[in-house]
Amino acid sequence: MPEILDQARTQVLENGVGLDEAGVLAVLNLPDEDVPAALQLAHEVRMRWCGPEVEVEGIVSLKTGGCPEDCHFCSQSGLFTSPVRSVWLDIPALVEAAKQTAATGATEFCIVAAVRGPDARLMKQMREGVAAIRAEVDIQVAASLGMLSQEQVDELVEMGVHRYNHNLETCRSYFPNVVTTHSWEERWETLRMVRESGMEVCCGGILGLGETVEQRAEFAAQLADLDPHEVPLNFLNPRPGTPLADRPVVEGKDALRAIAAFRLAMPRTILRYAGGRELTLGDLGTRDGLLGGINAVIVGNYLTTLGRPATADLALLEDLKMPVKALSATL
């Protein structure tokens, strides 16, 4: 057993204290033959500190494309020659999407908009949309609308949005290579306001943007410092027309190392499979990750790309004897 896993067994599994940056880096550098042991330990940590339930979520894009920011991985930036056109979802379609999500057994429905931050039109659409969903659908509503002002944070709380997603995307030292139209610190400021408001903080990122293994460890440590309720873990799905269109996808083994390492850094967080897992891990790898620290999934489609059918993920969870977290357990 590698020394870092012995250390993690005591520190993380028994005492619930996450690995620091050096510890995460040691896990990320484990040789292939030690990856199964790392995943097994990460799974034990997840079961000990989070339990067997899996939180299921659906996401939908309320406003697609035409974003003024230049996040190099994103097909929704208006600054790149991406084929994604700008489109808005109307309220009846939003409510229908929430109903379809709830029908899968999901407890979370996240409304996302491709914007720097919400303007008055978007906030009005959110007010009406969240109210309509809360009136008709038994599901928790989350939001992801970019950078917020304090007034907007307060307004989202008033609407009943219980969790806010704002990804840091990558570590502080690599962020300027990925986004130049705003800073990592600006994102952190929104996260600070969200936390102080009482909304749950959802913050993760994307692996495979060109960051080094050391920067991946740096990112895990920075997320652990933030201590979010949820960490969505994406793997780059290179999008046509974006500056990262030609980047290779993350190797499956590296993705699994990262899953184990992020779990060992954050033993109590909701660690969610987000975009790119189909490409990076496939069916078998998806299963390995669920047995290696993941305890939440986005089911169905993503914002501009498609995912596995919800039924396939739900069947997998049943096969693994992992119950879907009930709505009553989240209230």
Q: Please list every residue from 289 through 328 that binds another protein, using CB under 8 A.
A: 299-307, 310
Q: What are the φ/ψ torsions at residue 142 (nearest 5 degrees)?
A: -115, 170
Query: 180 or 311: whose CB is closer to another protein?
Result: 311
110 labelled binding-site residue: yes
Q: Is 96 among the residues that bind another protein (CB under 8 A)?
A: yes
DSSP 204-248: -EEE-SS--HHHHHHHHHHHHHH--SEEEEEE--PPTTSTTTTPP
Interface with another protein (CB under 8 A), residue from 5, 30, 84, 258: 84
Q: Could you say whether residue 137 binds another protein (CB under 8 A)?
A: no
- Residue of 124, 115, 51 lying closest to 86 (CA atoms): 115
Identity of the residue, 39 or 298, whose beta carbon is nearer to another protein in the bound complex: 298
Tell me how far apart the alpha carbons of residues 4 and 8 are, in angstroms, rounded to a whole number: 6
CB nearer to another protein: give 25 or 115.
115
Nearest residue (CB) to another protein, 51 versus 83: 83
CA 222 – CA 202 distance, rounded (Å): 14
**Do 235 and 280 contact (CB within 8 A), yes or no?**
yes
Tell whether 171 is in a known binding site.
no
81 three-class SS: coil
Distances, alpha carbon 16 to alpha carbons 44, 164, 244, 264, 327, in Å: 11, 25, 37, 9, 26
Q: Is 71 annotated as a binding-site member?
A: yes
Residues ≥6 apart with Cβ < 8 Å to 224: 18, 265, 266
Does 87 interact with another protein (rule: CB under 8 A)? yes
- For another protein, which residue of 100, 173, 177, 197 counts as binding (CB under 8 A)? 100
Q: Choose, by CB under 8 A, the member of 5, 30, 59, 67 that binds another protein.
A: 59
Does residue number 95 form part of the binding site for another protein (CB under 8 A)?
no
22 contacts another protein (rule: CB under 8 A): no
Q: Does 56 bind another protein (CB under 8 A)?
A: no
* Residue number with CB closer to another protein (168 or 236): 236
* Closer to another protein by Cβ: residue 169 or 278: 278
For residues 74 and 242, is the Cβ–Cβ distance under 8 A?
A: yes
Applying CB under 8 A, does 40 fall inside the site for another protein?
A: no
DSSP designation for 329: G
Nearest partner of 261 among 19, 36, 16, judged by Cα: 19
Q: Reduced to 3 states, what is the DSSP secondary structure of residue 59?
A: strand
Q: Pairing between strand 108-113 and 140-144?
A: parallel
Residue 67 annotated as binding? yes
CB 31 within 8 A of CB 82: no
Q: How far is CA 241 from CA 50, 78, 144, 211, in A?
A: 40, 11, 23, 20
Q: How far is the CB of 42 from another protein (least distance, A)?
A: 27
Instruction: Judge whether 203 is annotated as a binding position.
Output: no
61 belongs to the binding site for another protein (CB under 8 A): yes
Phi, psi at 311, each rounded to 5°: -60, -35
Closest CB 287 distance from another protein, rounded Å:
18
Closest contact distance (angstroms) between CB of 307 and another protein is: 7
Interactions with another protein, residue window 239-258 (CB under 8 A)? 240
* Residue 64 within binding range of another protein, rule CB under 8 A: yes
Query: Shortest distance, CB of residue 249 to another protein, whole angstroms?
Result: 12
Is position 77 an interface residue for another protein (rule: CB under 8 A)? Answer: no
Residues at the annotated binding site?
67, 71, 74, 110, 202, 272
Footprint of another protein on this chain (CB under 8 A)?
Answer: 58-61, 64, 83-87, 89-90, 92-93, 96-97, 100-101, 104, 237, 240, 278-279, 299-307, 310
